[in-house]
Structure 1
Amino acid sequence: MHRFPSVDSLRRLRLLIAASAIAFALVACDRAGDPATAEPEVQVHTHFTPQAELFVEFDPLVAGAKSTFAAHFTRLSDYKPVTTGTVEVILSGGNAPTERFRVGAPRAPGIFAPTVVPRATGRRQLALVLAAPGLQSRHELGEVVVHADAAAALKAGPAPGAAEGEIGFLKEQQWTTDFALEAVRPRALRESVSAPATIRAAGDGAAEVVATVPGTLRATGDFPALGDRVARGQTLAMLVPRLATGTDAASLQAELAAARSQAALADAEAARMQRLHAQEAVSLRRLQEALSAQQVAQAQLRAARQRVSLLGGGSGGIAVKAPLAGAIARVPVANGAAVEEGDLLFQIVDRRELWLEAHVSEADAARLDRPTGAAFDLPGLDAPVEVHAGDNGRLVGVGSVIDPETRSVPVVFALSAPEARIAINQNVQARVFTGRTRQALSVPAGAVIDDGGQRVVYVMRGGESFSRVPVTLGLRDGDRYEVLEGLQAGDRVVSRGAMQVRLAAATPEAMGHGHAH
């Protein structure tokens, strides 16, 4: 009985041929006249269900002969190998009894190797059924031929439908990298316009605390530091006013005591003059002089009290309080610093809501129907930051006047609970969603590679073969690009791991060869 070579030997042979075109030509010439060395093509199928991907290779089926399947099963939930479970190969139809061949465990992670020895010849329907914990997947591979003998299998030639790409990337490589596929299909994409934008504090979300008088800033405890949370009305520090030359706190207290004494004497004298005037013992002029002296003494007392109050009772100074709750964003002065009136002491920002202020060019302003949100990229973040009106933000307003210098219209969105990495006054490039949508083919932004200035994606042609496909892109919606040319609905693009496939194409020897079948 003729024995077909194993899947391993066939794959190694194909890789050897691909590595050396000259060697291939020589071997082909030698074998052309030797039918005994001719070998039938290995059968290859790739099939998807919603739960799993099957990539299977096996020798042509011959009645009474063993054909060991190399069935690679991948979970589509995480694109990792199926490590437990059973696989059943089913041959049915063709007016012959159904034949089943089962293997109870994988030979290696993700690779099941059931041995099939068909009995009935002719055209049969082939299916592989995977049963694993939490995963049931039936793969209908269609019609196969069970040949009567090896000569018939060799004469039949290669099986149809085994698509091959120019780039090899093995399942063992896919399983050990961050890898995923996505089927291209029409999706609703939001139209947007690109605009430069700035992250700002909300309209009532920032405050600057300035010195009201010249003086010295003193801490009341821990001096406020960058990032500290503060409450509204909280005392941040004390501002000790700068006194006139030769004047100190003790002198002010003495002046206050003297003013109190003078005021008390003036009060008593005014009261005495009023009694005497009532008895007609003194003239009206004397009474008026006493009342005037009383008013002067009271004014001097009030002035002395005010001077002392500027020192906080002579011990601390003027309390510097937080006008709103938030975080300290700037502290341009230090504890003990001498400041002038109007100097910035603290800047406080309430980060519970930030504003994204985009400047849409006048050429795009007419496209702003009902802006529904915006998105912008930040260095270090894997996905764009999106603002959805009614969800995590709101539309603050759209300008109606073109700025004469920038020739743009402001569009402002409020972003609730922003990430800490979003900085105030940061400039970003934003996309403002116009409120219109359209159906179009699209791919994730991670699927697109800039290859020497050309945008390309990698499309799976078979379980381990891929093609480099240039694409023409349209609008961007969040982390997706519209595809205008290059792809068709149903194509499966590499959505994660595209750079690894590109490296495999550039340096196939560095990516490894062969299987652990």
Structure 2
Amino acid sequence: MTARRFYFTPLAASVAALVFVGGCKKHTTETAAPTQPTANIQVGTVHSETIDATLRLPGRVEADPDKLVHIYAPLSGRLLNMTLVPGQEVRKGQAVATLQSSDVAQARADFEKAKIETIRADHALDRGKLLASHEVMSQADLQELQATDSAAHSELERTRQHVHELGFSENSTSDITTVTAPITGTVLDIGTATGEMQRSLETTTGIATVANLDTVWVTGDVYEQDLHAVHPHAQVTVSFTAYPGEKFSGTVANIGDSFDPSTHAVKVRVVMPNPGHRLKPQMFATLLLSQPAQPRILLPAGAVLHDGESTIVYVPAGDGKYTTKKVTTGAQAGDRIEITSGLNDGDRVVMQGAAFLRQPVGD
């Protein structure tokens, strides 16, 4: 018997009859048990109870991926003047570090070289035109000079744009660039330190991670047997280990479409407002989803025994004897277990001392 993640809150004891699966008695195995002293045995009458069921899902807080960014170096170089610390609030456009880059020097050198080649090509084309006008140069040679001049101008424009893409002017001499925060948010972690070299196209570690925590996700794991009980837009009450006694409200925003192969669970996501940023990423949470009230039969955990692969209870057979009856169990509610089939309202069952009625091994 595997306990599911439900707990029950009794609303009212209902004596209304509840008939479970009609065919359950077909699987009943009756075996006479030896007479036992009645002092240790307590027999009671089974009654159905109308109870509320609440599905409990383990979860944790996550930053909204749409509002989370990893800050990477815009170009390769040495990081200078790092000003970030975890937990710090930053504004969009705020300078968080400076970077001294050899990429800028190389880009400017390429630009200056292209400029010289363009001037040289312009002069060669001017001479060619003059020679062609005096029929000293052929038109084919002149066209070759024109093509070379056009290529030189194209390369000049390419190198100019490269310098601009790096965030610099081709007329500047500085090789220091400022790294800014792309969004307003909270610094979650730092991936580097002042003085470290950055490789903009090679590194997988960012300078820092910043997230806007005005809203957060609370994701829970829904196991296969409970998936039917979770629905989009359902109301959810969320509790957090960090805030005992407090309850937070939300709605189911999304239910995953695939099972995690390691946990065999589907992710359910609740989007929650986070005033004051009290909810922190990776904080543990419990999602509570109320289920419709329905009549159920509950027995004390000690009344339900395992016999091989079967689950059984003992029932009176008269003359101080007892027989076994197979049952099917459901959720466990504290020290009581739900019986989903095998018993009907009004049945008499051994509530206490069932273990004393077991047949001795080897007899």
Question: So what's the TM-score if we normalise by structure 2?
Answer: 0.55
Give CA-to-partner distance per residue, 1:446-474, whole Å, 9 cap, x none.
xxxxxxxxxxxxxxxxxxxxxxxxxxxx9
Q: Deviations over 1:385-432 (max 9, x none)?
A: 42233xxxxx2112344444322222110110255342212333x133
SS of aligned partner of 2:191: coil
Show the counterpart of 2:188. Answer: 329
Question: Residue 61 of structure 1 corresponds to which residue in structure 2?
Answer: none
Percent of aligned pairs sharing the same letter: 21
Structure 1 contact 226–331 (Cα < 8 Å) conserved: yes
Are 1:308 and 1:314, in contact at CA under 8 Å, matched by a contact in 2?
no
1:407 aligns with 2:267: no
> Distance in 2 between the 1:189 and 1:234 partners?
55
Structure 2 CA distance for aligned equivalents of residues 407 and 265 of structure 1: 69
- Once the two structures are superposed, residues 268-327 of structure 1 have per-residue CA deviations (whole angstroms, 9 ceiling, x without a partner) of 432443465366452123213322432453355356546755483431445434333212
Corresponding residue of 2:274: 417
Q: Deviations over 1:216-257 (max 9, x none)?
A: 1234xx7233233333344433333346xxxx94x8767644
Aligned-pair CA distance for 1:373: 1.0
- Structure 2: which amino acid aligns with 1:334? A
1:301/1:406 Cα in 2 relative to 1: closer, same or farther (>3 Å)?
A: same
Deviation readout 1:332-354 (Å, 9 max, x if unpaired) = 22233212332311101110110
**Of 198, 205, 208, the match for 2:67:** 205
RCO comparison, higher one (Cα < 8 Å, 6+): 2
Write out aligned runs for 1:440-459 (5 A).
none
Q: For residue 293 of structure 1, what is the aligned residue in structure 2?
A: 148
Structure 1: state its 5+ residue gaps: 1-187, 390-394, 440-473, 477-517
Q: Secondary structure at the match of 1:414?
A: strand
Q: Which runs of 5+ in 2 are unaligned?
A: 1-49, 296-331, 335-363
Task: Give 1:436's match in structure 2, choosing from 270, 292, 311.
Answer: 292
Does the CA-based 8 Å contact 1:311-1:317 persist in structure 2? no
SS at match of 1:355: strand
1:384-395 matches, within 5 Å, as: 384-389=246-251, 395=252
CA distance in 1, matches of 2:108, 2:265: 61
Letter in 1 for 2:148: A
Retained in 2: the 8 A contact 1:191–1:436?
A: yes
Instruction: Provide, for residues 176-212 of structure 1, a one-character-per-residue CA deviation record: whole Å limited to 9, x for no partner.
Output: xxxxxxxxxxxx9964212221211113021112235
* Corresponding residue SS for 1:200: strand
Q: What SS is found at the alignment partner of 1:282?
A: coil
Report the Cα distance in structure 1 between the residues aligned to 2:163 and 2:250, rounded to whole angstroms.
Answer: 55
Q: Is the 8 A contact 1:376 1:384 kept in 2?
A: yes
SS of 1:298's partner is helix
Query: In the alignment, which residue of structure 1 is the partner of 2:57?
Result: 195
Aligned to 1:236: 96
Q: Which has the larger radius of gyration?
A: 1
* Letter paired with 2:118: A
* 1:339 aligned onto 2:192: no
Aligned to 1:367: 229
Q: Determine the structure 2 residue equivalent to 1:260.
A: 115
Over aligned residues, Cα RMSD in angstroms? 3.8
> Is this contact kept in 2: 1:189–1:437, CA < 8 A?
yes
1:45 maps to: none
Q: Are the equivalent residues in 2 in contact too, given 1:207–1:348 (CA < 8 A)?
A: yes
SS at match of 2:182: coil
TM-score (norm 1): 0.40
Cα distance in 2, alignment partners of residues 261 and 400 from structure 1: 60
User: Against the structure 1 CA distance between its residues 223 and 426, is the aligned structure 2 distance closer, same or farther, given a 3 Å change threshold?
Assistant: same
Pairing 1:117-196 to 2, within 5 Å after superposition: 191-196=53-58
Q: Residue type of the partner of 2:198?
A: V
Match of residue 227, structure 1, among 72, 87, 93: 87
Q: Which of 96, 112, 124 does residue 269 from structure 1 map onto?
A: 124
Alpha-carbon distance in structure 1 between the residues aligned to 2:54 and 2:196: 50
Give distance in 2, aligned partners of 1:271 and 1:291.
10
Distance 1:214 1:279 in 2: 53
CA contact (8 A) 2:63 2:217 kept: yes
Which of 393, 397, 406 matches 2:254? Answer: 397
